[in-house]
Each structure stands twice: as C-alpha cells, then as structure tokens.
Amino acid sequence: MQNHNCIDNFTNKWFIFSETRNPKPETRNPMLNTQSPIPLYRQLADLLMEAIHGGDYPPGNRIPSEPQLAREYGIGRPTVRQAIDVLVRQRMLERRRGSGTYVCRPEKEVDLFSLAGTSAAFHKQGIDVEADLIEPIRRIAVPDGDGNPFAGGKAFFLSRLNRVDGAPVLLEEIFLHPVLFKGIERMDLHGRSLSRVVESSFYMRPTGGRQTFRIARADGAKREAMELADDTPVLEVHRYLNFKQAVNAVYSVLICNTETFVFSQQIGGLIHD
C-alpha cells in the first residue's frame, strides 16, 4: 500500500488517499510428483542438478542441508540423502565432514590426445603450460624393447616436463624419425610447440595414428621428475603418429598426473586445429 498527498483545488485543503497494488506472487520450488514412476530421490536429484546448472548453487557454494531439503520438499531425510548420493557419484556435489555438501568446481579437462599437440591442448582450454626440456634433443641408438618402433635402430630423442602453475602434470619422452627430421637437433626447442616446428620447418602434418593406455606407476627418475609419491598411479600413454612420408614417424610415451587434470580424448575424425 502506498500513500499519496493531494491538494483539493476548490477547498485548498490537503487530503490523503491510498493506492493498493497487487503483491508479487510468491515463487516456490517445483514440487515432487508422488504419482510419477520416477523415484522421488531421482526427481530431487534432477531438480538439484537443474539448480546447479542454472547458477542457483554456484561452484564452491554449499547447498541447503538435508533437513532443509526434506522440509522444503516434504520428504524424508533418507530420500534426500539418496538424491545427494546420486550427484556425489556424478562429481557434481561433494560432502565435507562437519561442514555440509558443496557444489564441485568443474574439473580441468584437457583433450591431450588430439593431433594438434600437447601445448595446443592446454592452450585451447585457456591453461598456460610451461615445458622444460629434461633431455635436449639428440640422435641416439634406441635399445631393443617392446612397443618402440625405432627399437634396435636410430632416432632423435627428447624428454620434456610440462608444468601448470609450477606443478608437474605431464612428462613426455619423444622419439622422431632419424631421416625425416634431420636437422632438428640444431634447433632451439625450448618453449616451442613441437607440432608447430614439424609443420613450419619440415612441412609435415600427421595424418593419423594410434594410442594405447594403461595405469602404471612411474619408475624412479620419472617419479622424481613428476614429484610423485611412491604409490601414486599415473596414466601412461604410448602414442604413434603417422605421416604421409612414413608410418610411426613420431613415437612418444606420455606420463600423465591425473590428480590435477582429467585427460580426455574426443571420439571422431582426426582434425588438425
């Protein structure tokens, strides 16, 4: 209700009249449908998920407590707990003992295995990565061993450690064809994208390849470089790149620390960014 002061032009007296406005309707959360074949906990999980995606509960913020949600939706706490369990398993929520349940911050995901190269994969996500050469590039005799296409022959070899915010996230051991990449040993590769060097200096682009994955534990030197505890598992990737000039012209072993990043791979055609 709002009051207005007015003057009567005929009597020259003031009087007051009141204006009544319709109040805004109250907004309520969508209620659960007890007649639906979808379980109540699943309905609540979907509503909470929509609220998270809609920004009602931003990343890092606490959601209402189980008793609050139970009162708001007229259901029991066990049903609320089931709904929260669903979102915890989906890594959308996390429970903190003695504090409550919070919205998880999005994981940093890097499509490491595209043909665009390691640096491009990080930069595409807006992540600054610093690559330190552990072993400068040189021509070596590759020892016999399983998996390496240059085993028993010659190859150019380099090893580099990729850091994000000073923390090691990826160790690369790279072997390159000894003839196709002749002269690369005289180049300064510090801080440069190897895929761009290959394209700009040797006029080659990868046409395809294959990769194998396994969970492993890094050996002593690699574990020390990655600053890992003895029992920390890592994602080990063996990567073979083909070029028009030769198959398996580049072979690399990638040691990925998955505690900091989720390393993903897009399914579909091979496209050079």
pLDDT value for 53: 83
Give a yes or no: residue 270 inside a domain: no
Which residue, 127, 120, 124, is CA-closest to 197? 120
What local confidence, expressed as pLDDT, does residue 259 receive? 76
Tell whether 59 and 178 lie within a shared domain.
Answer: no
Predicted confidence at residue 132, as pLDDT, reads 86
Q: Are residues 237 and 159 in the same domain?
A: yes
| Rounded-to-integer distance, Cα 269 and Cα 224, Å | 37
Place of tokens 């020259």: 12
Q: Does 244 map to a domain? A: yes
At which residue do the structure tokens 């998880």 appear? 104
Between 164 and 181, residue with greater pLDDT: 181
> Pick from 75, 106, 137: which residue ends a domain?
106
Span 201-224, mean pLDDT?
88
Does the structure show a pLDDT above 50 at 22?
A: no
Q: Is residue 8 domain-resident?
A: yes
Helix residue spans in 130-202 (DSSP H): 194-202
Q: pLDDT tens digit string along 42-61? A: 999 999 988 988 889 998 99
* pLDDT higher than 70, residue 208: yes
| Reported pTM | 0.57
Same structural domain, 140 and 163? yes
One domain, residues 254 and 130: yes
Of residues 145 and 93, more confidently modeled: 93
Quote the pLDDT of residue 110: 43
Closest CA to 251 of 154, 119, 132: 154
What is the number of alpha carbons within 13 Å of residue 261 lying toward its C-beta? 24
> With bands split at pLDDT 50, 70 and 90, how would you rate the model's confidence at 90?
confident
Centre a 10 Å sphere on the Cβ of residue 51 and count the other Cβ atoms it contains: 16
